[in-house]
């Protein structure tokens, strides 16, 4: 009995140590890399990892005694939560691919290794990047990661629907006023006449009761896609955070959400609800833009992949998002975001993880990765071959959108998650005409200022 | 204690140790740890800082705490009330001697076997405002159905209907209870001239009242922990759209703890939920003395 227990204990101990033993036996430095990508995006990064590992093995062959680095790519879903638990448990991966919005919260709470000095030592600086993407990996003036694949957004339009509505399919709107005008011409209803007969009508039809009309097609809906609804203020020159002040209820933001509400007033809240509830999930052929129910929408560089998959053959175009006619300089306002590689505090191999990050920042490697993921490069230098090989017909446009002064990103704060949820709710309330923009945005501002101040206080306390 | 008694005690403890260890490690420790963290400012990534009752004070002033509590109470009462009524009605119908009874029992039980994800997707399609089967059928009888998932007044109701659809488990428990009612009681009541409804009111319901009590308590416990339904039907956002009408208590707890890294506050929420469920169960137990009959 005692012998059996002792054997069990030894077996458990042995299995716990096996990783370390096998690592030293093989003479490799094993880097565990958690990444959220799957499918073709995951495969693109897997190729980069393989080429890095092959290079390391080659180097070890030519230099006896050199212990090569072996990066193990582990695909992790919900990385924002799992990384949190792993860091809290003191057992994080050596390297992680995160969403840039995670960086401020993690950095403030000491969960990430700072990379400022490391980058300086090897000559990596902001000038080598599209500035905004580099900035997204920084927080409070320090560098916490480096960008991998970025994303930006632009107006997408369906050329077939433009042609059917008598609009020039090659000319997208340049101002918001033009967008509103075109949207009306692209809105199609099925109207039930008193005789019971049904007929198709174009426009907003305010005189027809909601019970007698059914939306078939909409030109533009500010609430689609729903993930963008927190960003409309930027098109009108608004900000979400100014210094330490939450500025949700600024006049510019109120103006933006008043514009958003105008669509609910023109189309009718009930009609929009019914129409929206017929939409399928984003990644499906029932996506309203892919199914031809929505003629124009703002979407990211990734939309091309979904068009290819679910609506191959669709005639579409992408252009800078329109600006109010009074502010033509704001044309092309859109979100710019990036994924980033970070080294969690407690990483067993920070040096090796950093060498891998450095490798991914090489122009040829980054271009291979971005080409594989069908995105643009976050680096300042991009080869012509990259554009020539790229399957996305508007890849240069998205690159320009990300580099534009009008590109904006989530405010660099640990309370962004809560901010985004609150703005989503405010957008719901405004588009449902439950609250006025001033009321809804005022509520968000009051709540978030408290959260922001609390978050700052935690940071200050930690600094002490 | 004699050596024999001590040996017996040790043997007893050894045999019950898996349960004792499980209870201590997976229930008692998390419960007490959460209680401690609820008195701390704890962001998971930093050591907890003791703040006394601050989290609880803030909680009771938090609009979203009350909003999520209201949403959850509405859902729990709605799903338990309607679910119990439906399950009991079905069980009574399935307890009668009709042709094809096995088929009906299987058919009504099947939805409860449906995985939550698949069921949610199915209901998502059925709830479609335009072209969804529910509104199409309502349209056939001249009713314009609402936009179930986009209208804040209907979204919670939509989730309740989905929960009631899976009432097969309760139905089976009711059915077992119904089959346990002695036939002699029905025979006696028939001889006394009781109608079908009187037999239901004075024989069936009192005799299966312990089963009703069990289902109601389990339903309340489950209802207050609603989480996945809202996430699956209205995700990927966890804001509880439309207009926070599906922001259930546990969803808000998840937001605060795992999205906003405020685990101390989330622990306080968890403890308040624990006390609410404990209180409701206690209340149901107290009330049960008045209407639950264990006579046989």
Going from the N-terminus, what domains does chain A have, and what CATH number goes with each? 26-150+337-406 (3.40.190.10), 153-187+217-336+411-460 (3.40.190.10)
Which residues in chain A are contacts of B130 at CB distance < 8 A?
214-215, 274-275, 277-278
Residue B41, phi then psi, degrees to nearest 5: -90, 105
Of the partner residues A81, A211, A424, the one whose CB lies closest to the CB of residue B144: A211
| Whether A346 contacts A91, CB under 8 Å | yes
**B142 pLDDT exceeds 60?**
yes
Q: List chain B domain ranges.
A: 58-291
User: Band of the pLDDT at B295, cuts 50, 70, 90?
Assistant: low
Quick one: tokens of A367? 């271009």
Inter-chain residue contact B129 with A462, CB threshold 8 Å: no
Q: Which two tokens mark A40? A: 């073709």
Question: Looking at the partner chain, which of A211, A226, A278 has a beta carbon nearest the beta carbon of B131?
Answer: A278
- State the smallest CA–CA distance between residue B255 and chain A in angstroms: 8
Contact A428 B241 (CB under 8 A): yes
Cα torsion B83, B89, B95, B100: sign: negative
A188-192 and A316-319 strand pairing = unpaired
Q: What beta strand segments (E) does A63-212 contain?
A: 69-75, 95-99, 138-139, 142-143, 145-158, 188-192, 198-202
- Is the Cβ pair A421, B130 closer than 8 Å? no
Chain-chain contact of A273 with B43 (C-beta, under 8 angstroms) = no
Distance CA A99, CA A409 (A): 12
pLDDT in tens, B147-203: 888 888 899 999 999 988 888 888 999 999 998 889 999 999 999 999 989 999 999
CB within 8 Å of chain B, chain A residues 402-421:
414-415, 417-418, 420-421
Element (H, E) at A32: strand A29-35
Which phi and psi angles does A245 have, rounded to 5°?
-105, 130
Which residues of chain A neighbour B231 with C-beta distances below 8 Å?
A: none
- Chain A residue closest to B241 (CA)? A425
Of A105, A226, A278, the CB nearest to B129: A278
Distance of alpha carbon A416 from alpha carbon A460, whole angstroms:
18
pLDDT over 90 at B38, yes or no:
yes
d(CA B21, CA A418): 38
Chain B residues with CB under 8 Å of A447 CB are: 63
Closest CA to A376 of A340, A358, A402, A344: A402
**Distance between CA atoms of B23 and A354, rounded to whole angstroms?**
43
For residue A394, how many C-alpha atoms fall within 13 Å in the half-sphere facing its CB?
A: 23
More confident residue, B295 or A389: A389
Q: Which of A28, A70, A36 is nearest to A341 (CA)?
A: A36
| Rounded CA separation B179/B213 (Å) | 17
Which chain A residue lies closest to B122 (C-alpha atoms)?
A: A280
Nearest CA to CA, how far is A391 from chain B (Å)?
Answer: 29
Rg (CA), chain B: 24
C-beta of residue A31 within 8 angstroms of C-beta of residue A23: no
DSSP track, A381-450: ---HHHHHH---TTHHHHHHHHHSTTEE---SSTTHHHHHHHHHHHHHHHHTTSS-HHHHHHHHHHHHHH
Give the gap in angstroms from C-alpha A228 to the nearest C-alpha of chain B.
12
Distance CA(B132)–CA(B134), nearest Å, equals: 6
Q: For B41, which DSSP code?
A: E
Q: What number of other Cβ atoms are within 10 A of residue B50's Cβ? A: 11
Chain A residue with CA closest to B246: the answer is: A425
From chain A residues 278-317, the ones with a CB under 8 A of any chain B CB are 278
On the 0-12 / 13-18 / 19+ scale of CB atoms within 10 A, A175 is middle
C-beta atoms of B261 and A84 within 8 A: yes
A82 near B CB under 8 A: no
Q: Are A276 and B150 an interchain contact pair (Cβ–Cβ within 8 Å)?
A: yes
Neighbours of B176 (CB within 10 A): 12
Nearest to B158 by CA among B107, B234, B86: B234
CA distance A37 to chain B (A): 17
Contact A335, A86 (CB under 8 A): no
Question: Could you give the percent of chain B with pLDDT greater than 90?
Answer: 49
pLDDT number for residue A21: 45
With beta carbons under 8 A apart, name residues in chain B contacting A109. 43-46, 261
Distance between CA atoms of residues A276 and A295, nearest Å: 14
Q: How far is CA B127 from CA A123, A141, A276, B117, B124, in A?
A: 57, 49, 11, 15, 5
Alpha carbon of residue A342 to chain centroid: 17
> Where does residue A82 rank: exposed (0-12), middle (13-18), buried (19+ CB within 10 A)?
middle
Single out the residue of A371, A336, A376, A353 nearest to residue A47, CA to CA. A371
Checking if the pLDDT of B291 tops 80, the result is no
Q: A256: part of which helix (H) or strand (E)? A: helix A251-267
The more confidently predicted of residues B127 and A44 is A44
Hey, are the CB atoms on B243 and A81 less than 8 Å from each other?
A: no
Residues A425, B49: C-beta atoms closer than 8 Å: no
Residues of chain A found within 8 Å of residue B41, distances taken between Cβ atoms: 458
pLDDT of A12:
45
Report the gap between the CA of B133 and the closest CA in chain A (Å).
11
Q: How many residue pairs from chains A and B have C-beta atoms closer than 8 A? A: 99
Mean pLDDT for chain B overall: 89
Task: Give the whole-angstrom CA distance, residue A394 versus residue A376.
Answer: 10
HSE-CB at B226 with a 13 A cutoff on CA atoms is: 31
d(CA A452, CA A447): 9
The answer to whether residue A80 neighbours chain B at the CB level (below 8 Å) is: yes
Q: What is the pLDDT along chain A (464 residues), one digit of tens a residue?
A: 444 444 444 444 444 444 444 554 468 999 999 999 988 999 999 999 999 999 999 999 999 889 999 999 999 988 988 998 898 888 999 999 999 999 998 998 889 999 999 999 999 999 999 999 999 999 999 999 999 999 999 999 999 999 999 999 999 999 999 999 999 999 999 999 988 899 999 999 988 988 889 899 999 999 988 888 888 999 999 999 999 999 999 999 999 999 999 999 999 998 998 888 878 778 888 899 999 999 999 999 999 999 999 999 999 999 999 999 999 999 999 889 999 999 999 899 999 999 999 999 999 999 999 999 999 999 999 999 999 999 999 999 999 999 999 999 889 888 999 999 999 999 999 999 999 999 999 999 999 999 999 989 888 887 77
A293, A274 contact by CB (below 8 A): no
Collapsed DSSP state (helix, strand, coil) of residue B43: coil
A260 and A223 Cβ atoms separated by less than 8 Å? yes
Region B58-291: CATH code:
1.10.3720.10
DSSP per-residue string spanning B135-203: HHHHHHTT-----TTT-TTTHHHHHHHHHHHTTHHHHHHHHHHHHTS-HHHHHHHHHTT--HHHHIIII
- Residues of chain B whose beta carbon is less than 8 angstroms from a beta carbon of chain A are 41, 43-46, 49, 63, 127-132, 144, 146-152, 237-244, 255, 258-261
Asked if residue A181 lies in contact with residue A204, where contact means CB atoms within 8 angstroms, the answer is no
């Amino acid at each position: 009995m005692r012998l059996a227990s002792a054997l069990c204990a030894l077996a458990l101990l042995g299995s716990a140590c096996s990783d370390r033993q096998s690592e030293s036996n093989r003479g490799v430095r094993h880097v565990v890399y958690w990444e959220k990508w799957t499918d073709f995006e995951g495969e693109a990064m897997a190729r980069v990892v393989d080429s890095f590992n092959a290079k390391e093995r080659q180097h070890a062959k030519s230099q006896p005694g050199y212990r090569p680095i072996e990066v193990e790519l582990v695909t992790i879903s919900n990385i924002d939560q799992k990384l949190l638990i792993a860091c809290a448990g003191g057992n994080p991966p050596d390297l992680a691919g995160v969403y840039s919005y995670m960086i401020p919260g993690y950095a403030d709470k000491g969960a990430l290794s700072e990379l400022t000095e490391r980058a300086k030592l090897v000559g990596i600086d902001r000038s080598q990047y599209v500035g905004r993407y580099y900035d997204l990996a920084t927080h409070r003036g320090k560098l916490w990661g480096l960008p991998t694949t970025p994303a930006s957004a632009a107006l997408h339009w369906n050329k077939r629907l433009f042609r059917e509505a008598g609009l020039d399919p090659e000319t997208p709107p340049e101002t918001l006023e033009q967008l509103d005008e075109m949207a009306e011409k692209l809105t199609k209803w099925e109207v039930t006449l008193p005789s019971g007969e049904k007929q198709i009508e174009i426009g907003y039809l305010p005189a027809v009761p909601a019970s007698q009309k059914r939306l078939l097609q909409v030109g533009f809906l500010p609430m689609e896609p729903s993930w963008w609804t927190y960003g409309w203020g930027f098109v009108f020159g608004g900000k979400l955070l100014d210094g330490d002040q939450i500025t949700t209820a600024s006049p510019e933001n109120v103006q933006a959400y008043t514009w958003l509400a105008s669509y609910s007033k023109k189309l009718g809240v009930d009609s929009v609800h019914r129409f929206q509830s017929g939409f399928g999930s984003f990644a499906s052929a029932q996506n309203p833009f892919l199914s031809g129910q929505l003629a124009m929408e703002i979407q990211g560089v990734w939309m091309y992949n979904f068009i290819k998959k679910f609506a191959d053959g669709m005639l579409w175009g992408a252009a800078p998002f329109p600006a109010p006619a009074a502010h033509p300089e704001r044309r092309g306002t859109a979100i710019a975001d990036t994924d980033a590689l970070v080294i969690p505090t407690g990483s067993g191999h920070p040096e090796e993880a950093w060498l891998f990050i450095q490798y991914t920042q090489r122009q040829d490697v980054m271009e291979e990765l971005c080409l594989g993921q069908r995105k643009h490069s976050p680096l300042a230098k991009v080869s012509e071959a990259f554009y020539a090989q790229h399957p996305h017909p508007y890849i240069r446009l998205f690159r320009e959108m990300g580099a534009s002064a009008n590109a904006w990103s989530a405010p660099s704060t640990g309370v962004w998650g809560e901010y985004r949820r609150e703005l989503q709710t405010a957008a719901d309330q405004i588009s449902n005409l439950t609250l006025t923009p001033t009321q809804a945005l005022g509520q968000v501002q009051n709540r978030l200022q408290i959260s922001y101040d609390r978050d700052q206080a935690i940071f200050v306390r930690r600094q002490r | 204690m004699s050596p024999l008694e001590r040996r017996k005690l040790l043997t007893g403890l050894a045999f019950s140790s898996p349960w004792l260890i499980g209870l201590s490690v997976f229930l008692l420790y998390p419960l007490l740890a959460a209680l401690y963290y609820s008195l701390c400012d704890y962001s998971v990534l930093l050591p907890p800082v003791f703040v006394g009752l601050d989290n609880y004070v803030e909680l009771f002033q938090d609009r979203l705490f009350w909003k999520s509590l209201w949403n959850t109470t509405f859902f729990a009462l709605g799903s338990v009330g309607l679910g119990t009524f439906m399950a009991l009605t079905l069980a009574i119908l399935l307890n009668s001697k009709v042709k094809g009874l096995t088929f009906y029992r299987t058919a009504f039980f099947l939805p409860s076997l449906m995985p939550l994800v698949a069921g949610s997707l199915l209901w998502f399609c059925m709830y479609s405002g335009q072209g969804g089967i529910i509104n199409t059928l309502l349209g056939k009888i001249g009713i314009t159905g609402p936009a179930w998932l986009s209208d804040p007044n209907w979204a919670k109701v939509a989730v309740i209907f989905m929960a009631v659809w899976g009432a097969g488990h309760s139905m089976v428990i009711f059915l077992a209870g119904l089959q346990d009612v002695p036939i002699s009681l029905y025979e006696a009541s028939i001889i006394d001239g009781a109608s079908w409804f009187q037999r239901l009111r004075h024989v069936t319901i009192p005799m299966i009242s312990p089963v009703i009590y069990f289902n109601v308590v389990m339903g309340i416990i489950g209802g207050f922990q609603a989480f996945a339904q809202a996430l699956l039907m209205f995700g990927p956002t966890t804001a509880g759209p439309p207009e926070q009408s599906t922001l259930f208590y546990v969803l808000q707890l998840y937001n605060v703890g795992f999205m906003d890294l405020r685990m101390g506050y989330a622990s306080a929420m968890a403890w308040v939920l624990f006390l609410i469920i404990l209180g409701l169960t206690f209340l149901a137990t107290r009330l049960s003395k008045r209407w639950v009959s264990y006579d046989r």
